[in-house]
Structure 1
């Protein structure tokens, strides 16, 4: 019946039937022509706003904090576009998991592929700094089509969904590494592998430094990038994928190798945030603003989300 590695008969139990149904609907939707998929995704995101008021408020607050000079109209336009991207993100996940390589290749181009090839040729590992755009799942698939690599992630709480997402992500990449597995990441980099790592979320106070991020002065920023760089001595560059301005497909941007990376944690955190800011500004409406990026505050400070 199912021959995929890691499949368990328990996934056929009734408690998973609703999940199977949802995955089946997603599979059917992404069989449609891309323009129809795009229209469904954008409209789904737009119509979801009344049901996701808390996430809408978080997105609006994040945008106001990062871009205080925006007019209210600019902010609301960005929130509206962000929810269109949020709706499209679900279908982009289906595209990433279920489309063939041949079909995926029709809808993307790459800028800077030579940068990744040049860094990988040095045989000292490549740490690929990623950013949480809405199309991240599809970006991982496309990145792997260009050059298979390893990626860090948070395992899914649902055992069946963990199997499904891992199978989907492994269609074009080498391996998934638990983001808490520092030893595994360092080992892979020292062996000359390319490892994708996204340091742009709030992982709490432990293992973080406070550094500026856009207009927010003190933002908890993981020291993971600094630690991995110091322990592995790997090359460092960014890979970002965004939807093209005309929505006809996607563009993967690969930066040249990043030089002059700081040698202490505080400076490295600020340096990393500046890199992430640059990538976000490629398409700010497509970034994951619904994440509470500023939930961790320095001691004594009140929450920015009150």
Structure 2
């Protein structure tokens, strides 16, 4: 069944990726109408997330953000499909790095780099960074159940020579690269909700106390890697710009969880600036205020 679904969907996705951009975004508008107005995909989750995190806004303002988000989500999904065939030149024109020299200067120190980003605007098109730097680029992702679509996602994300690694393989992959003196640039999207039983740290995110991924920071501390945050902004439809902000080049000298907390503050600022471009469909706040249940584990992690 998985293969049948794949062979049915793949020709359609490939044809979509070949559409000229005006037609491409017209299709996105049609998909938005179906997803939002007909199916109502995860509308309740989005509505609750917006109400919980943006209570200072009126219901009318949150509805406007909701509609804009679903429009953007459809664009973003199709833009991932577009990556199947988009040229390098076109991608560079549509996804611009404002200060790539910051990363290039960090490379000269011969230390691998972890890039922390959010599920905001376009994290998929960050893969074009491989064309601007010397280090090998690695994109960390979560495997999906359908093995054929999983391979398709891996192929899309490696279009411009990035290496895709599954989240559970990340630690071993980075250690192996460091032993073999392979300097890497690793992309981590660390703003979603970790499994509660694996949580070591809680912090406020959008005003709510939640469990937080700390893997990027802890890996950087253990293996002496530099850390940067990348802020992605949607300039206009189909066009983005990314700006790097240094987090730490000597993470071992920074108190535990300070880097993660700083990263969260940067993500929050990004969301408050234009909330419609954040990924509101995930149940990011489902484990809110459960820190007391995990306190023994947290204390152990801190010692």
TM-score bracket relative to the smaller structure: 0.7 to 0.9
Q: In structure 2, what is the Cα distance between the partners aligned to 1:275 and 1:226?
A: 15
Alignment correspondent of 1:213: 205
- CA root-mean-square deviation: 2.4
The 3-state SS of whatever aligns with 2:97 is: strand
Alignment correspondent of 2:222: 231
Contact 1:125 1:194 in 2 (8 A): yes
Contact 2:199 2:211 in 1 (8 A): no
How far is 1:165 from its partner? 1.5
How far is 1:259 from its partner? 6.6
The 3-state SS of whatever aligns with 1:239 is: strand
The 3-state SS of whatever aligns with 1:106 is: helix
How far is 1:75 from its partner? 0.5
Give the counterpart of 1:184 among 169, 173, 179: 173
Which structure is higher in helix share? 2
Give the counterpart of 2:56 among 34, 59, 69: 69
Q: In structure 2, what is the Cα distance between the partners aligned to 1:242 and 1:16?
A: 36
How far is 1:54 from its partner? 5.8
How far is 1:17 from its partner? 3.2
The 3-state SS of whatever aligns with 1:254 is: strand
Quick check: 250-259 or 36-45, which moved more? 250-259
- Structure 1 length-normalised TM: 0.83
- Structure 2 length-normalised TM: 0.84
Alignment correspondent of 1:101: 88
Pairing 1:202–2:193 present: yes
Give the counterpart of 1:250 among 227, 236, 240: 240
Contact 1:112 1:255 in 2 (8 A): no
Distance 1:70 1:282, change over 3 A: closer
Contact 1:41 1:89 in 2 (8 A): no
Distance 1:178 1:258, change over 3 A: same
Q: In structure 2, what is the Cα distance between the partners aligned to 1:114 and 1:88?
A: 29
**Equivalences for residues 151-162 of structure 1 within 5 A:** 151-162=139-150
CA deviation vs aligned residue, 1:253-297 (integer Å, no higher than 9, x gap): 2224547864223x4443331122233345321111110001124
Pairing 1:283–2:274 present: yes
Q: In structure 2, what is the Cα distance between the partners aligned to 1:189 and 1:196?
A: 16
Contact 2:202 2:291 in 1 (8 A): no
Distance 1:108 1:19, change over 3 A: same
Q: In structure 2, what is the Cα distance between the partners aligned to 1:255 and 1:184?
A: 25
Give the counterpart of 2:138 among 150, 153, 160: 150
Q: In structure 2, what is the Cα distance between the partners aligned to 1:280 and 1:144?
A: 26
Structure 2 runs not aligned, ≥5 long: 294-303
How far is 1:112 from its partner? 1.2
